[in-house]
Amino acid sequence: MNPIEIFAKSCHELSPSLIEYEVGSEVEFFLFKFLNIVNKLYTSFFVISFFDAFKAFSKYTTRVFGKPNVLDKCQTIPIFSKESDSLRGSIPIVLAEIKKNFEKLSNSLVIVLGLDFYSVIFGEEELTKLYPRLINLTYTSNTLIVLNTKLLSNRAIQIVDGFSATIAKLGVEEKEGKLMRYLVLLRTPFPEYNLRKWYFSIERGEILFHNSE
């Protein structure tokens, strides 16, 4: 199995799951490949999108891959979107609306995008209140959160990590004078892969993984 397949299997077996990333790590590319791997496992993808994060993801994948069929399975609830009918309000109001929509679904992967924007707008304290309550709300389904942790303090990262069963980290670092993207599996049910780091490049629409550390 390649690292994305390992992460996908881990997410299916142990949820909730978290992808930590930083700008430049091509998280959109990684997420799209992940969704294609798990596509057959779920009837639909239930996307909780804060501040138009899913719209940005959709534009990226359409530009890079054309019209990807995997996104046709996405049922999206926009929160604090620029759209006029977007959900807005306090944490209890947001959670109540998500619950109402979530209860209609079965065999869905829940995907949460844009919580980093939520933290920037409303503050880390609000994020650390929302995160565990959101996890508790969707505990009956596999849940994947995608979060730019470079925007968070160590304290906030520790809190979100504490409520996440599977964790992968995407980052960028300088290696031998070059900027290299990497993936680290921080927490999975497979001890032999935990804390291993893979460097990767993107070529011809595919992720190529290099030697692990």
pTM value is 0.94
- Domain of residue 57, residue span: 3-212
What is the SS3 assignment for 17?
Answer: strand
Q: How many separate domains does the chain show?
A: 1
CB 129 within 8 A of CB 143: no
Dihedral sign (CA 164, 168, 169, 170): negative
Paired tokens of 142: 């596999």
CB 170 within 8 A of CB 183: yes
DSSP 8-state symbol, 87 = B
CATH code assigned at 51: 3.40.50.300
Dihedral sign (CA 24, 48, 195, 39): negative
Could you tell me which residues come within 8 angstroms of residue 1 by beta carbon, excluding any fewer than 6 positions away? 9
Residue-wise pLDDT for 47-82, tens only, equals 999 999 999 999 999 999 887 778 889 999 999 998
Sort strands 166-175 and 17-21 into parallel, antiparallel or unpaired: parallel
Residue-wise pLDDT for 163-185, tens only, equals 999 999 999 999 888 899 999 99
